[in-house]
Every structure is written in C-alpha cells, then in structure tokens.
A and B are shown apart, each in its own frame.
Chain A
C-alpha cells in the first residue's frame, strides 16, 4: 500500500516540483491575512437605504489598447462614469492617486472603517469600426471582482454605453438600477418657436423633437419611454399630440375645442388624464392612450387642472381653485372621494407624485415668488425645497424618486435645473433660450 501512495506522491511531485512548494510555503507564512475567516465574501454589497453615504468608489484611469484616438475615448468614458456615479448621490468618489493600480491596491491596508470600498476599472479597444469597452468592479476589501461588463458601440453611442455601465454599477452596489440612461423632455424656444426638446439627464445631447412652428407645452413621457404627449397650437387650438421619442410625425390624441392640456399617463401606460374645457369649464378627464373612451372625472365650476397619478394608479392629485385660490386636491382614479390636500399658502399648483409613492412635490407661491415644496402623502411635514430669487415651477421626479427636475428663473430667464429630493445640489442643465416644463423619462426598458 505504501508503494502506491508513494507513486501518487511522486506523480504529484513531478507536476508540482518541490522548490516552488517551498517558496509557496514561505510566501504563505509571510502574507497571512489578518482575518482568519475562510468564508467567501458576499458578491453583492449590502443595500444602503439611508441617505448616509457608505460606499467609497475608486475610479482608476481607464486604459486604451490600440490607436491613439482611443485614449480620448477612454478618458471620455471614464469622465462620464465618474460623473454619473457622483451625481447618483450614493457614493463617496475617490481618484486612484497613481497610475499603477497594483501598487495602489497593495498599499491598501485593511482599514477598520465603516465604508465599503470598490475599484472601477475600464479598458477601451477597437474591433473593426466599433469601440469595445471592458469594465469591471472590484471589491477591494473582499478582493473579488463583483461585476464584468463588455460593450460594443459606434463612437456616437459612447455616452450611452458609459451611462449603461454606470447604471449597472449602481444596480450592483445598491440593488436598484441607476438613472444615468434617463432623459428629460422640456419646452425650448431656441429654434424660434416653443418646441419639445429631449436631452440626457445630465444636460448633454439636447435635441429638438418637434417642428410644430407654433407653441408646444407640457411634454410628458409615456411609462414605456417611447412617446411624449404634449399640447400643440399648430392647428390654432391647443390640441394634445404625441410624438415618438426620436421625433417623426406626431399623432393627434385629443382635439376638442378649447384646452387639451396637462396630459398625465397612468403608471401602466393604458390611460391619459388631461384637462379639457370642451364642456365650458376646465375639468379633468381620462381617456385611453389612443384617445378613445373619454370619461369625465371632475365636475365643478372651478378650474380643475394638472393631474398627477399615484404610482399605484389608484389616486390622482390635481389642482383646483374651488376654494377660491388654487390648491392641491386628491381623488380616486374614477373621480370619487375628492378631498383637499394642501391648506397652507394661497396658491399651490403643479403637483407631482413621487415614484416611491410617499411624497408629493408642488409649486407654492411664497411671497412674490413660486417655490417648490415637498410634503408626505398624509399632507404633513411640508418642506420648502427652493428659496431665493426667481420662480421655481413644474417639478418632475426622477424614476428612482431621488431627484427633481424643474424650471427656474433664478438666473434671469427660465432654464431647466435639477436637484436632490432634499433640495441640495442644484445644477443647471440648459443655457440657450427659454427652457421650461421638464418631464423626467422612465429608465430604458421599464414598463
């Protein structure tokens, strides 16, 4: 028996000669980890639900493999990803202080801090006429790659690929997909008339989507992100149109005499609530998304306008001046159980229900200006989000409920601004012309 064991060991030794074994022995003794836990670390890091930032991301300089022009692509890609992760508000962003990632990681002592630490790396190369990006997320503490991604794209799609990568990182680290691939539709008069425009959530890629050559107002994204409903005066009457998100020929959804305004898609995309004055007075109606099946929801001689659906699709918030001045009201989606929601202030309008369902933001006249406020759905704890110069109006939530896009005249003219849901980190997205009435798109692929 001993002979057979000996044979096995001899065979083993032939494939694994003794010298490296001895070196390995020595190496292992010198580099024993401080934790003796032999279990594999979690692949997905803990979901952080509080506002406290507890994940630190190091973004390495993205490498390029190939012709000189790719270096710029790598740098652009890295800049977009870094910016997306910074804007998400989830992370503490750090630069890798050296180009030598190995040295950086070697020097990384296991700190007894409370922050999770990850490294994001990327490499750009070329394949035929396309660019290929390979990226990964590496959990520094657990010393494990937790995500690998590979994208292939033409140069013009670089921003989109970078945003996709960022969204995957956010999904991996927080459990919810990021919003870097989303867009904002809005009204702009840069072309000479008020038309519908679409830009990326970070202000890039501003494109004109309609050419109605009259006045367009109140763009609203369909929940599948494919169409934008809006009011147009191109026929002489404010009709409701819909256009594909990449332009093309608009269709007419509703053309009753009088107003066809403030469209609001139900969360399942099957219905649109809107304001019509065809019966002599501004009332809220609901119709199928193709314009059929019109049903009236409100019946009051006051102005009823600006509907906003709850994410459950069972409630609608709206503006009514039935008490004498515009205030926010709520009703069931069939028009029943109308009840007043705001009581403070003399003019409250433009309600926007958070996709999380727990809060409503609206414009409120405070002093001489309009400010944005947010309140929970019990109507308690109103919190003023904006202050200072100019009017702040038309709030619209990001699909993750963490940011609000709005129009503000604080800079002297109306422009599109975005801020965190607590009012912090206000940034301007537009510059030329008058820009207002923004609507935040759903995440791509969302229903």
Chain B
C-alpha cells in the first residue's frame, strides 16, 4: 500500500465519520417559503374545515282570542300593587288596592286574568324570576281568600326582564317592583 493510498483512505474515513456524527447541526433551517415543493408539509393530509350557516327559525306565536269590550273595560280598572325591595309580602296599601280589584273581579265573573310578577333591575336574572312569581302568588292568594275562583287566575313571572321604567334610580325601581294584571287570552 502506498502512502498516498493510506492518506486517501484515512481522509475518506475521517470525512465519513464527521459527516455521520455531526447529527442535527449539519442542516440549516429552511423555512416553508424557501422549499420548492416542501416534502414534509405536502405529505401532511389536508383537514377539511367547514363553517355551517346559522339559521334562526321563527317560533309560531300562540293564537290570541278576541276579548269582549265589557271584559276589557273591567280589566282596565284593575290597579297594580307594589312591593318593597327584595320582598313579596303585601303592604297595607297593597291590600287596599287588592280589595278594590277583588270587587271588580267579583262583578265580572267572565273576566279571567293573568297576574304578572315583576322585579327591579337589581339582583340576578334567575333569582328575580322566582321573586317575581312569589309577588304574583301573593296577589293571587289574596284574591282567592277574597272569594275569587282560583281557576280564573294564572300567574307568570317576568323577573326583571320587562321593566315598566327603564331608569336606574329608586324612582324607577319602585315602579318596577309590582304585580300587574292583564286579561287572560
């Protein structure tokens, strides 16, 4: 073996050894934009992404019955009652109003009513739903004790969702803490 050959082989061996052991330092970073047809990205299967349409569908409203004039006239005489903050008990003034309302109801046996319970805007949505119902029930219980047929009275609570006065002070709040009477349709 010549010295030239030995040198030749040694060089090759060293070159191979170094190339194999240089590991992750041997490649520079090649970002996606530079790769002509980047093998790694294009082999990744494409995930199809869709965005469905949102379509709200109208809910049919319940059929409303016609109300006789005499019934509507009697209902318009019913006065609302008001409540103290966070309270569903009847004040003395409330009881007087309910007494006169009860008279109207007694005089118009065909009049069926819904008692709406309402709250002011303070307090949470859900607690006020329950409080509003308690206010409506207080009024209903009074009428029932007064002698009105319970089947003529239903209750619904609107919590704080249908205020009469949109203001943000006690004047508005006081108007919203109420039991309100409407004709049952």
Contacts and interface: CB of A to CB of B under 8 A. Distances in A.
Interface of A: 2, 5-6, 9, 12-13, 18, 21-22, 24-25, 28, 31-33, 38, 40-41, 60, 63, 101-102, 105-106, 121-123, 132, 134, 136, 138, 142-145, 148-154, 156-157, 159-161, 164, 194-195, 198, 207-215, 217-218, 232-238, 246-250, 257-259, 261-262, 275, 277, 280, 282, 303, 305-306, 319, 321, 325-326, 347, 349-350, 363, 365, 370, 391, 393-394, 436-437
B122 to A, nearest CB: 8
Contacts of A105: 29, 31
Contacts of B151: none
A143 B24 contact: yes
Given A38-B21, A217-B125, A238-B156, 10 more contacts: A9-B12, A38-B23, A106-B29, A150-B42, A209-B54, A212-B59, A236-B114, A238-B157, A248-B55, A282-B129
Interface residues of B, number: 69
A9 B31 contact: no
B125 A436 contact: yes
Contacts of B133: 258-259, 277, 282
B15 A25 contact: yes
Nearest to A37: B23
Given A38-B23, A259-B130, A246 B57 contact: no
Interface string B113-148: 010000000111111011101100100000000000
B118 to A, nearest CB: 12
21 contacts: A21-B15, A21-B19, A28-B18, A31-B25, A134-B32, A134-B38, A152-B47, A152-B48, A160-B50, A194-B161, A213-B59, A215-B158, A215-B162, A234-B62, A247-B57, A248-B57, A259-B130, A262-B126, A305-B130, A326-B127, A393-B125
Contacts of B40: 136, 145, 148
Interface in B9-30: 9, 11-12, 14-16, 18-19, 21-30
Given A134-B44, A150-B44, A213-B59, A123 B32 contact: yes
A259 B17 CA distance: 80
Nearest to A21: B15
B31 A102 contact: yes
A108 B22 CA distance: 20
A347 B58 contact: no
B56 interface: yes
